[in-house]
Chains A and B, each alone.
Chain A
Amino acid sequence: MSKPTPEVYEQGKGMDAHNKVMRDIRSRKEASYDPHEPTRVWLDEDNTPDGVKRSLTIILNTGGCRWARAGGCTMCGYVAESVDGGSVSHDALMDQIEVCLAHEADTADEPADLIKIYTSGSFLDEREVGAKSRRAIAETFADRERMVVESLPDFVDREKIRDFTQYGVDTDVAIGLETATDRVRHDCVNKYFDFADFEDACAEAAAADEAAGDAADAGIKAYLLMKPPFLTESDAIEDMISSIERCADVSGCHTVSMNPCNVQRYTMVDDLYFQDGYRPPWLWSVAHILEETAAVDAIVVSDPVGHGSDRGPHNCGECDDLVQKAIKDFDLRQDPSVFEQVSCECELTWETVRERERSFNQPLTR
Chain B
Amino acid sequence: MDLNPVELPGTSELFIDSLFRPPRPSVCMTEYFEVHERDGAARVGELRLESPVTTPALVDDILADAGSLWAGNREVPAGDDSQLTVLPHRAFPGGTAAEVQESFGVDYPDVDYPSVAVVSSESVDDQGTDAYAVSDVQSITGHGAALVEAIVNVRETVPTDTAVYFSGVATPRNVAVLAYAGVDLFDETAAVVKGTEGRYLTTDEAYFLEDLEELPCSCRACEKPREEFTREDCAEHNRNALEAELGIVRRRIRDGRLRDYVEGQARQDQWLTAAMRELDAQWGYLEERTPILRDAQIDAATEDTLRRVEIQRFADRVTTRYRNRFKNPLVLVPCSATKPYSESQSHRQFHDAIQWRAHTVSMTSPIGVVPQELETTYPAQHYDTVVTGRWSEDEKEFVAAVLRRYLERNDYPHIVAHVPDEGYRDIVGRVEDALDLEITYTVPEGGHPTDEESLAKLSDALSGELKYSKREREHNTVRAIADYVLGDGAGDDLFPDIQTTSRYPKIQVRDQADTQLATMVPNYGTLSFTLEGAKRWLESDAPTKRVEIDGFVPHGSVLAPGVVDADEDIRVGDEVVVEGPKAFGVGRAEMFGREMVEGTRGIACEIRHVEEK
Contacts and interface: CB of A to CB of B under 8 A. Distances in A.
Interface of A: 1-6, 8, 13-14, 16-18, 20-21, 24, 181, 183-184, 187-188, 229-232, 235, 238-239, 268, 271-278, 316, 345-346, 348-349, 352-353, 356-365
B168 A361 contact: yes
A1 B189 contact: no
Contact of B93 (A1, A352, A362): A362
Nearest to A365: B193
Which of A20, A230, A356 has the most chain B CB within a 10 Å cutoff? A230
Contacts of B269: none
Considering residues A3, A239, A363, A364, which has the most beta carbons from chain B within 10 angstroms of its beta carbon?
A364
Contacts of B1: 1
Given A13-B103, A365-B197, A6 B70 contact: no
Nearest to A277: B93
A300 B142 CA distance: 40
B202 to A, nearest CB: 20
Nearest to A235: B71
B107 A356 contact: no
Interface stretch (B94-102, B479-487, B551-559): B94-102
Contacts of B128: 1
21 contacts: A1-B108, A1-B110, A3-B107, A4-B88, A4-B109, A5-B106, A16-B99, A17-B102, A18-B100, A187-B70, A188-B70, A230-B90, A232-B68, A238-B71, A268-B100, A276-B93, A277-B92, A345-B198, A346-B197, A352-B192, A364-B189
Interface stretch (B131-139, B395-403, B412-420): B131-139
A364 B104 contact: no
B72 interface: yes
Contacts of B107: 1-5
A362 B232 CA distance: 22
A316 B198 CA distance: 12
B167 A361 contact: yes
B139 A231 contact: no
Contacts of A364: 138, 168, 189-190, 193
Contacts of B74: 4, 6
Contacts of B95: 271-278
Contacts of B71: 181, 183-184, 231-232, 235, 238-239, 359
A349 B109 contact: no
A316 B232 CA distance: 17
A316 B69 CA distance: 29
A359 B199 CA distance: 24
Interface in B55-114: 65, 68-74, 76, 86-97, 99-100, 102-104, 106-110
Contact of A349 (B110, B168, B196): B196
Interface string B130-150: 000111111100100000000
Nearest to A353: B193
Contact of A360 (B72, B100, B137): B137
A2 B106 CA distance: 9
B41 interface: no
A356 B187 CA distance: 10
Given A4-B69, A275-B95, A352-B235, 14 more contacts: A3-B109, A8-B103, A16-B99, A17-B103, A181-B71, A230-B90, A230-B93, A231-B68, A278-B95, A352-B193, A359-B70, A359-B135, A361-B167, A361-B187
Interface of B: 1, 65, 68-74, 76, 86-97, 99-100, 102-104, 106-110, 118, 128, 133-139, 142, 167-169, 187, 189-190, 192-193, 196-198, 231-232, 235
B572 to A, nearest CB: 31
A343 to B, nearest CB: 14
Nearest to B120: A360
A348 B139 contact: no
Contact of A361 (B87, B138, B235): B138
A170 B90 CA distance: 44
Contact of B168 (A17, A239, A356): A356
B285 to A, nearest CB: 23
A181 B72 contact: yes
Nearest to B192: A352
Nearest to B110: A1
A357 to B, nearest CB: 8
Contacts of A8: 103-104
B198 to A, nearest CB: 7
A358 B91 CA distance: 9
Given A1-B108, A6-B69, A230-B93, A352 B196 contact: yes
B30 to A, nearest CB: 15
B104 A277 contact: no
Contacts of A4: 69, 74, 76, 87-88, 106-109
Contacts of A273: 95
Which 4 residue pairs of A and B lie closest in terms of their CB atoms, listed nearest first? A361-B168, A275-B95, A277-B93, A17-B103
B218 to A, nearest CB: 24
Among B92, B96, B231, the one with the most A-chain Cβ atoms within 10 Å of its Cβ is: B96
Contacts of B89: 359-360
Nearest to B168: A361
A227 B118 CA distance: 21
A17 to B, nearest CB: 4
B68 A356 contact: no
Given A1-B1, A3-B109, A268 B97 contact: yes
Contacts of B106: 4-5
A105 B229 CA distance: 59
Contacts of A229: 93
Contacts of A230: 68, 70, 90-93
Contacts of A316: 197
Contacts of A24: 97
Contacts of B65: 358
A21 B97 contact: yes
B96 A272 contact: yes
B540 to A, nearest CB: 46
Contacts of B91: 230, 358-360, 362
Contact of B232 (A20, A187, A235, A348): A348
Contacts of A238: 71
A360 B231 contact: no
Residue among B102, B110, B135 with max Cβ neighbours from chain A (10 Å): B135
B137 A361 contact: yes
A246 to B, nearest CB: 14
Contacts of A275: 93-95, 136, 139
A164 B86 CA distance: 54
A249 B68 CA distance: 27
Contacts of B70: 183-184, 187-188, 230-231, 235, 359
Contact of B135 (A13, A357, A360): A360
B167 A16 contact: no
B412 to A, nearest CB: 57
Nearest to B102: A17
Nearest to B166: A361
Nearest to A19: B99
B68 A359 contact: yes
A17 B167 contact: no
B73 A183 contact: yes
Nearest to A363: B138
Nearest to B137: A361
Nearest to A183: B72
Nearest to A12: B103
Q: Which of B97, B108, B128 has the most CB of A within 10 A?
A: B97
A362 B197 CA distance: 17
A349 B235 CA distance: 10
Contact of A17 (B68, B97, B118, B190): B97
Nearest to A16: B103
A6 B138 contact: no
A184 B68 CA distance: 11
A275 B142 CA distance: 12
A275 to B, nearest CB: 3
B189 A349 contact: no
A188 B92 CA distance: 11
A236 to B, nearest CB: 8
